[in-house]
Structure 1
Amino acid sequence: MKQQPDIDVVIRYLEEPGNEEHKRSLDEWLQLDAANLDIFLETKALWQGDVLPTAASYDVAHQWQLIDAQLTATTIPAVTATLPPVQPVQTVQAPAKGKVRALSTRTWWAAAAAAIVIAAAVIIYRQPLYIAQQTAQNTDSLLLPDGTRLYLNAHTSVKYPRNFQKNSRDVFVQQGEVFVDVKHMPEKPFSVHLKNVDIEVLGTSFDVKETKQGVKVFVQSGKVKAVYKNGKKSVVLTPGEEAEMLLAGTTISTRHHRNNNPIAWKTGQLTFVDAPLSEVADVLEDYYKVKIVVAEGLADKKLLATFHKESLSEVLDILSKTLQVKAVQKDSLVEIY
């Protein structure tokens, strides 16, 4: 849940960027909400007298790296506000009723700081155009403004508009894996955008995964169209079908699943119906994040089993007894022989 931004946290850091307590407070506040980064950048720009960039022009990932480096550095150079030089104060003789007091430098700076705080407070209440969501080791889910629900796997980053356009709904997957349960709205197509692939749907549920090789799309229900951004190739997928689209932008391979193993990370269930051991190994590798080596001659052994949130050691024990093989795990390596 978002918390009310504390402008004092930002101001204290800008006043004393070398103060370790202020750095820790700023770091904790930035972690509360991805939108707080925009607030900090805009406030800092105002403090330094820079021209404020538009929200959409920020390279958010790069800015996070810069801020993280600053907050973890041993020493951080001081940030000073760009303000006009203070002119020497001249004493002015007042009428007989009294003297006019000269405005001290301290008071002038306090007034300037107050003006900055007020202007920054106005910025804070300006809603950002996009909302960003990121997971670490955990999975998470979120409900979009249209009723569509996103399920995020670990190490996933997405962003979406605070308000969808009248005739379209667009979500951007920057990394990781997302299961999308789309709210059916035929008059308002839903699109998921990745680095080199766009996915177009009306109302369906599907999984999209960004890998080092490319993009994988698996459809649980409905129908989706996956299109290379270069426009050269596309594929239409129906329930149970999965497509892998390589980064090269020209190769699409498809396969049909008799189960929902591609979304086991979300359901917690793995199903194998006379599945060859080679296929079982691939699925277990992806689900448990390990490397599995199958000895020569065992790849075609068939497994009939269903697992629901069992540990890897439990799965390997059942697999060994069922197929009459040995499975030995050492750290993140599993050998089956």
Structure 2
Amino acid sequence: MPAIDELIIRFIQSPHDPVLQEAIAAFVAESPEQARYVENKLAAWLTASGTPVVATTAVKTTALPAFLYTVKTWVAAAVLMVLVAVLLLCFRQTAPPRKMFAHVNNTGRVDSLRLPGGYIILNKNAAISFDSSDRQSVYAEVSKGDVFFDLNSNTSCTVLVPGDYRLETAAAAFHVHASAKGAKVFVTRGKIGISGKRPDTMMLTASMQGILEHQKAPARKKLASQAPLAWKTRQLAFRNVPAAEILDAVCSFYDIQIMIPPSAESRCAKKITINLNKKTEKETIALLQQSLSAHLVKDSVDTYYLTLK
């Protein structure tokens, strides 16, 4: 292959030339045989670059200046790094795309999906996409609403959530609430690693909740109840629990929003005991107003504002 040999020589001489990188990448991507040919050629050059010159009595040799050895070593390292980058790029381009299945729960009730490695429970109107083609792993993206994942002991899971965050776990059970503001993650079993574009990775364990909002640093806290799961368990009885947890539970249970202005945030820290089981939305709002010594003013069909006035 004289033409490709010449291309490889030019690539070795100028490894950071984007035109040469693209030409090499295109050749490598055509077939595994061509990829191996390029790899072998570059490997041979790298091996030769480290081979010392052997002097004989018949030939008079002159040692290369030290700085030329340094330059040659640097070029070899540069070519190796670029080769790795090119091969990775080709692998990503040729890797088969995931077979994502989109699902929106329009049943008007809580629904569930069985997977090879566990199951997913969705609140009404929740929206997800997932790939469960691998029996020992689940890849999913939660775009809206409340979703609960329960994984088997040998199942790993990757979940993408709003806010450009990625959840990584294995054999865990956890809840994800996704909205326009970002996401909240509550763990009931196991551990979850959370990473994002920012350098702020964190770990969540059982009974911990992670708050992942747009334009804000991620935060976590330990909850005093299973309030985030009220939509699934249908339990709204709380004893000495911070009002903030109860308000979140009521929002997911009735599919409403309760807006908290800065002036009323102090009420959210108040611990209250209240039983809202088998209550209508109207009865629930009335009992919350009484317990919080505040008003919940309805602004639209599904939005309330907490106010002290």
- In structure 1, stretches of 5+ residues that fail to align are 1-127
Could you tell me which residue of structure 1 aligns to residue 205 of structure 2? Answer: 238
**TM-score, normalized by length of structure 2?**
0.55
Alpha carbons of 1:222 and 1:318: their partners in 2 closer, same or farther (altered >3 Å)? same
2:191–2:203 contact (8 Å) kept in structure 1:
yes
**Deviation of residue 297 (structure 1)?**
10
- In structure 2, stretches of 5+ residues that fail to align are 1-97
Alpha carbons of 1:328 and 1:200: their partners in 2 closer, same or farther (altered >3 Å)? closer
Could you tell me which residue of structure 2 aligns to residue 307 of structure 1? Answer: 276
Could you tell me which residue of structure 1 aligns to residue 238 of structure 2? Answer: 272
Could you tell me which residue of structure 1 aligns to residue 173 of structure 2? Answer: 205
Alpha carbons of 1:212 and 1:272: their partners in 2 closer, same or farther (altered >3 Å)? same
1:261–1:283 contact (8 Å) kept in structure 2:
yes
Could you tell me which residue of structure 1 aligns to residue 113 of structure 2? Answer: 142
Q: Distance in 1 between matches of 2:179 and 2:298?
A: 25
Correspondence list, 1:157-196, <5 A: 157-161=127-131, 163-164=133-134, 168-185=137-154, 188-195=155-162, 196=164
**CA deviations over 1:87-109 (Å, ceiling 9, x no partner):** xxxxxxxxxxxxxxxxxxxxxxx
Alpha carbons of 1:224 and 1:259: their partners in 2 closer, same or farther (altered >3 Å)? same
Could you tell me which residue of structure 2 aligns to residue 57 of structure 1? Answer: none
1:190–1:202 contact (8 Å) kept in structure 2:
yes
Alpha carbons of 1:270 and 1:231: their partners in 2 closer, same or farther (altered >3 Å)? same
Alpha carbons of 1:326 and 1:158: their partners in 2 closer, same or farther (altered >3 Å)? closer
**CA deviations over 1:21-71 (Å, ceiling 9, x no partner):** xxxxxxxxxxxxxxxxxxxxxxxxxxxxxxxxxxxxxxxxxxxxxxxxxxx
Could you tell me which residue of structure 2 aligns to residue 55 of structure 1? Answer: none
Q: Distance in 2 between matches of 1:160 and 1:327?
A: 38
DSSP 3-state at the match of 1:308: coil
What is the number of residues matched between the two proteins? 204
Task: Give % identity.
Answer: 23
**Deviation of residue 293 (structure 1)?**
6.7
Highest Rg: 1 or 2?
Answer: 2
Q: Distance in 2 between matches of 1:272 and 1:218?
A: 17
1:273 is aligned with what amino acid?
A: R
The answer to which structure has the higher helix fraction is 2
Q: Distance in 1 between matches of 2:192 and 2:185?
A: 9
1:223–1:238 contact (8 Å) kept in structure 2:
yes
DSSP 3-state at the match of 2:202: strand
1:221 is aligned with what amino acid?
A: R
1:214–1:245 contact (8 Å) kept in structure 2:
yes
**TM-score, normalized by length of structure 1?**
0.51
1:225 aligns with 2:193: yes
Alpha carbons of 1:324 and 1:242: their partners in 2 closer, same or farther (altered >3 Å)? closer
1:285–1:292 contact (8 Å) kept in structure 2:
no
Q: Distance in 2 between matches of 1:134 and 1:277?
A: 30
2:127 is aligned with what amino acid?
A: S
1:159 is aligned with what amino acid?
A: S
**CA deviations over 1:121-175 (Å, ceiling 9, x no partner):** xxxxxxx9443321134431110122x110112322222235216x643223233
**CA deviations over 1:256-291 (Å, ceiling 9, x no partner):** 111110121111112433345565445434543043
2:228 is aligned with what amino acid?
A: P
Correspondence list, 1:1-337, <5 A: 129-136=99-106, 137-146=108-117, 148-161=118-131, 163-164=133-134, 168-185=137-154, 188-195=155-162, 196-228=164-196, 230=197, 232-248=199-215, 251-277=217-243, 280-288=246-254, 289-291=256-258, 299=267, 302-319=271-288, 332-333=303-304
1:181 is aligned with what amino acid?
A: D
Could you tell me which residue of structure 1 aligns to residue 93 of structure 2? Answer: none
Alpha carbons of 1:335 and 1:178: their partners in 2 closer, same or farther (altered >3 Å)? closer
**CA deviations over 1:170-194 (Å, ceiling 9, x no partner):** 2232333310011110xx5222223
Could you tell me which residue of structure 2 aligns to residue 46 of structure 1? Answer: none
2:123 is aligned with what amino acid?
A: N
**Deviation of residue 202 (structure 1)?**
1.3
Alpha carbons of 1:304 and 1:235: their partners in 2 closer, same or farther (altered >3 Å)? same
1:182–1:203 contact (8 Å) kept in structure 2:
yes
Q: Distance in 1 between matches of 2:228 and 2:153?
A: 23
Q: Distance in 1 between matches of 2:210 and 2:132?
A: 30
